Structure 1
Amino acid sequence: MLPLTLTLLGFISPPLPVAAQEADKSAAATWAHIELKGSYAEGPQMMGLFGEASESLSEALGRLDKAAKDDGVTGVVLKIDGPQIGRGKLNEFRQAISRVRAKGKKVVAYLDSAAGGDYLVAAGCDEVVMPESGVLMLLGVRSEVSFYKNLFDFLGVKAEMLRVGEYKSAAEPYSRTEMSKEFREELEQVLGDFYDQMVEQVATGRGLTTEKVKAAIDNGPHTANAAKELGLITRVAYEDELTGILKGDKADTTIKLAKRYGKKKIDTDFSGFTGMMKMMEMLMGLEPKARASKNPKIAVIHASGMIMPGASSSDFLGDSTLGSDTLVKAIEKASSDATVKAIVLRVDSPGGSALASDLIWRALEKVEKPIVASMGDVAGSGGYYIAMGADTIFAEPGTITGSIGVVGGKIALDGLYNKIGITTSVVARGKNSGINSTTIGFTDSERAAMTKLLLDIYKQFTEKAAKGRKMEYAKLEKLARGRIYSGATALKLGLIDKIGTLEDAVEHAKQLAKLGPDDKVERLILPKPTSPLESLFGPLNPDEQTRVLADSALFNAINAISPDLADDLRNAWQINRLARESRLMLMPFTIRIR
């Protein structure tokens, strides 16, 4: 029998030389594969199974930042599949891509086809790849506003709308047949800013002159081959050819694509009693309680959606309302928590109720900690109102903000009722008792009373804005009058302090709180999301559930037939929800980049 030692030696291989080990290691490269699609809502998503299935903006950006810091990742493949994002979120993604590239890692964008927003994200990458059959729809910017006065006249409906500020055009679609001079003026300026930003982003990202970019826009759309000739994309290739592209001149390199890189894994094993309990916990949004940390924190409070009194909620259209009660409680929680050293208010709201906006503003005024506001896609009217008391205001270059003005009014249905045979008898006491009536329009006395009310609210709005911006009232009031601005223009006018992302705002909040680089700073995300059941069905009342589900089915059917009609329905539904409010701080329109 051979000695045991010889047997063992027979299985031991001599170690590879160091150079050979490095060569073997270099023969493999892992690329993070991240897909961008969906709307990327601001703030925490609903808890449980449905929350894990959707992805918030912060989670998507976190995946890119993780790839930037991951030593095991060579680069990022970004598959862009029609994300529904505004100009604020677009800038957040472009800045996250630049952070990956700053670490010396390439970012390769792949698109089957691309519209403006998709391409502007891709333009910030090292390479842009599109298949031969793809089309680049880089066509510039355009706004189409629908007006309903002729329809209302035909139906016998009268829009009784009042406004303070000649640029406060929120009610124009209901009371006019075309844009006013002021409406067109402000829209021209904002779209001009958007166009200039688009040209600059493409020019710097693709290394082209602004003249060439403008010519490419004016001659669009382009096939993939034509886009490559113009320098708008770098390669014409199919998705399955990406591996070869990533190898470059190192043909012997093994490429590993880490699909769904950094994305939460959903445990879908619901078998047995344990699995059933797990599913119930996910549906109810139950999460394991974590031990309270004593580390210093920055509270990031998300203010997203139309501003309304009461609690935050969602509707069958998928839109969320920002309830003043919900946000005030979140502000008070951050204020009373001794570990919270500063607050960042992330605003993505077109405004809404004047009362609810003021209650949120007041809650922030009472906080004795540094407050930094960060504006997302939109922070206009009431959205600007709640941000104006912050110590510092950040905005994205393409944020829509301003709209410092007030609008109010009602829809009078008496003419329609007469056409269909409905008559109304009235018993009243009080000269202005008919202000809230939806049957008839305002009397002279009621109109005068409403106008005085709106003027008082406008003065309150502008005085607080002037104080918050440390600006003379006359100068601020001239900038107000309901006019909207891009973030870039708002900076020049002094309505905001800095251009930057949410991450920039958080870093600034740390400085104001005098937190050093060695401090282990955590983030407290507020307000907490609702449970999946409540988010899906609203009030847990059988009749209400039936109505919500029926409305949802109707909206989905309309959206499938005509997305534009569905957008109009969405806007009308939001106005309907706000009808009970006599005074509104509301953006004049919704801008969607396609």
Structure 2
Amino acid sequence: MRVPAVPSAVLRRVPGLPGLPGRATPGTVLELDLAHGLVTGPPSSPMEALRQRNAPSVRALRDGLRRAASDDDVLGVLVHVGTCPLSLPEADEVADLLADLATSKPVAAWSETYGELGSGMAGYRVALAAHDVWVQPSGAVGLVGVHAAITLVRGALEKVGLEPQFAQRHEFKSAADQLAAREVTDANRTMIQRIADSVLDDTVARVAAARGLAEDDVRAAVAQSPVSARRAHELGLVDHVGYRDEVYAWAHATWTPEAAPAWRPRYVQRYAADDPARRRDALAGLSGASRRRPSVAVVDVGGPIVLGPGQGRQAGADRVCARLRAVGRQDAVKAVVLRVDSPGGSYVASDAIRREVLRLRESGRPVVASMGSVAASGGYFVAMPADEVVAQPTTLTGSIGVLAGKVVVAGLLDRVGVVQESVDAGDRAGMLSGTRAFTDEEWRVLDDWLDEVYDDFTRKAAHDRAMPWEELEPHARGRVWTGADAHQRGLVDHLGGSRLALRRAAELADLDPDDVHVLGTSPLDLLARLKPAESSESPAAAAAVPLLDTGLVGAGPEALLHRAAAALGVAVPHGVLSLPWGITVR
């Protein structure tokens, strides 16, 4: 089908379509500004897309830096680390891409500071990929280590008349501890300590390798951190101390050949958008032609896993399963990368997604799971059936376990003068009601169900990972592992990011990994995205995204609890297969 000519002024305004026109101008210096964050998945709403307009995406970085490697008009890359609001796995994703480019182009990283008194580990890990690392004279390098706080709010809940009632399988499945426990358990403390130690070990090894230092010297620097810019230079943690204008003047003098044309800074994402190959792919997507080219499809599972289509940053099972079925019907899709960045959630929803992943494999298409910052509990459930699983060393994963329960609000309602009376038709109709406690019989039912789910989870994990159940189960029990520790225990296959996952998917499908066509989240033409879905089998069902995110988690006492927990800074489980806590290491 011949694609009709479309004015470029119109194409520039099509959401998701790369900008027009463009090629690199001689003397181009690419800029990467991480102060705006990093887009790792599709926006959950138009407002989120608007907020992300200045943030580079992983795909834009991957495409732009790969193109720059062979572009003689590009002199090098300047990375502004800044506040760098990235998790460690996200930082490592960026660092991996920069390290690839650094084999053919000069890369320099600069920041006003790598942490101001506090930790700057994420930003500094990005800077380690550069040939030259700069810091402002008034700045510092904050390799302070890892701090993880455990907050228990049962006492506060009881003061207002709330009674948490939860059970879990097993001792490490501590998601409900924040609400239900009166003190930190030994198992929880052991687990979090090991995560902190693993992250620090990985950071020390990275710094030592990148900066040519002994690991003992790096640990000594950690003990002294945060260190001033001058001291960081003495310790070999940075190469130069200077302000932004000095960084740019140095790069101009160092990278620009004699008699070169004017120096032109340009953001990596804008340079990537002007790639003629991306424009051809985008135009082909308007006609559906891109779906005829042998491709690797990327399917996102981002946010809490829930039943139904989901809303906002939720991985709705209906939408994810529809997307997996849609790519499975495309002959041109030869492999799939399942990009998982989820703390888990619903057991039933996770199982439905797992089933569709297995069906893709049965169709002869290899599936590679790529873990983001977190792929734990339900997030691990959907990743484990893949042919191969890829995680960053600091990804939080595992948490093979289950929890369930409720918060009884009867005391609170009584204190504020609310009278609520229930009428049940059925012995267990009100079992999960928040207005009364569990009976002994209901506790027995709950315990039996938890045992059944845990047995199902662990046996499916053992099957998917080709391990005897007796070998896998000690690594389950609800315990969260870093990607590095999970790799040692056979829970993941490779350490790396989405770049490695795409390469492995292409190789498993006998495609050229250096020239693979990648289909994004919704490989549909523009009109198909706007049409209502004809059925659950319609590709449009996979592209349906709620226009508005209300931010509500439900009605009734549960919504109140979630809002109160958010105000206290406490993570509340989104389902029976949930990560034990919210932890972000920067």
TM range, smaller chain = 0.7 to 0.9
Aligned to 2:266: 259
Point out the more displaced range, 257-266 or 442-451: 257-266
Given the alignment of the two structures, is residue 292 of structure 1 paired with residue 297 of structure 2, yes or no? no
Shift of 1:119: 1.2
After superposition, give the CA deviation of every residue in 1:246-272 in whole Å (9 maximum; x if it has no partner): 2249896767242324427999xxxxx
Aligned to 2:521: 526
Structure 1 residue aligned with 2:36, among 35, 38, 41? 38
Paired residues, number: 515
Q: Contact conserved, 2:390 with 2:501, CA < 8 A, in 1?
A: yes
Structure 2 residue aligned with 1:117, among 122, 136, 143? 122
Q: Contact conserved, 2:398 with 2:486, CA < 8 A, in 1?
A: yes
Structure 2 residue aligned with 1:344, among 337, 341, 350? 337
Aligned to 2:483: 487
Q: Contact conserved, 2:465 with 2:491, CA < 8 A, in 1?
A: yes
Q: Contact conserved, 2:28 with 2:266, CA < 8 A, in 1?
A: no
Given the alignment of the two structures, is residue 537 of structure 1 paired with residue 548 of structure 2, yes or no? yes
Task: Give distance in 1, aligned partners of 2:544 and 2:371.
Answer: 30
Q: Match of 2:179, as an amino acid?
A: Y
Aligned to 1:100: 101
CA 1:253–1:152 in structure 2 vs 1: closer, same or farther (change >3 Å)? Answer: farther
Given the alignment of the two structures, is residue 137 of structure 1 paired with residue 142 of structure 2, yes or no? yes
Aligned to 1:591: 583
Point out the more displaced range, 526-535 or 217-226: 526-535
Task: Give distance in 2, aligned partners of 1:261 and 1:219.
Answer: 35
| 1:297-446 aligned within 5 A | 297-314=295-312, 320-367=313-360, 368=363, 369-446=365-442
Shift of 1:535: 5.7
Shift of 1:456: 0.8
Q: Contact conserved, 2:34 with 2:55, CA < 8 A, in 1?
A: no
Task: Give distance in 1, aligned partners of 2:103 and 2:499.
Answer: 16
Q: Contact conserved, 2:306 with 2:316, CA < 8 A, in 1?
A: yes
Given the alignment of the two structures, is residue 501 of structure 1 paired with residue 508 of structure 2, yes or no? no
Shift of 1:198: 1.0
Aligned to 1:82: 83
After superposition, give the CA deviation of every residue in 1:195-248 in whole Å (9 maximum; x if it has no partner): 001111111122211122111111121221121111111111111112332224
**Which secondary structure state, in structure 2, belongs to the residue aligned with residue 62 of structure 1?**
helix
Q: Contact conserved, 1:307 with 1:382, CA < 8 A, in 2?
A: yes
Shift of 1:514: 2.1
Task: Give distance in 2, aligned partners of 1:83 and 1:470.
Answer: 39
Shift of 1:37: 2.5
Q: Which runs of 5+ in 2 are unaligned?
A: 1-25, 115-119, 275-282, 531-542
Q: Contact conserved, 1:66 with 1:262, CA < 8 A, in 2?
A: no
Q: Contact conserved, 1:298 with 1:342, CA < 8 A, in 2?
A: yes
| 1:111-190 aligned within 5 A | 111-114=111-114, 115-190=120-195
Aligned to 2:534: none
Q: Contact conserved, 1:377 with 1:400, CA < 8 A, in 2?
A: yes
Point out the more displaced range, 130-139 or 332-341: 130-139
Task: Give distance in 2, aligned partners of 1:534 and 1:461.
Answer: 30
CA 1:566–1:108 in structure 2 vs 1: closer, same or farther (change >3 Å)? Answer: farther
Q: Structure 2-normalised TM-score?
A: 0.81
**Which secondary structure state, in structure 2, belongs to the residue aligned with residue 301 of structure 1?**
strand
Q: Match of 1:110, as an amino acid?
A: W
Q: Give 1 or 2 for the bigger CA radius of gyration.
A: 1
Q: Contact conserved, 1:29 with 1:253, CA < 8 A, in 2?
A: no
After superposition, give the CA deviation of every residue in 1:431-487 in whole Å (9 maximum; x if it has no partner): 323211111111101111011111111111111101001111111112110001111
Aligned to 1:232: 237
Aligned to 1:277: none
Q: Which runs of 5+ in 1 are unaligned?
A: 1-27, 268-285, 315-319, 559-564
Task: Give distance in 1, aligned partners of 2:371 and 2:156.
Answer: 36
Q: Contact conserved, 2:503 with 2:513, CA < 8 A, in 1?
A: no
Shift of 1:425: 2.9
Q: Contact conserved, 2:44 with 2:549, CA < 8 A, in 1?
A: no
Task: Give distance in 1, aligned partners of 2:469 and 2:478.
Answer: 15
Q: Structure 1-normalised TM-score?
A: 0.80
Q: Contact conserved, 2:506 with 2:513, CA < 8 A, in 1?
A: no
Q: Match of 1:514, as an amino acid?
A: D
Task: Give distance in 2, aligned partners of 1:504 and 1:380.
Answer: 20
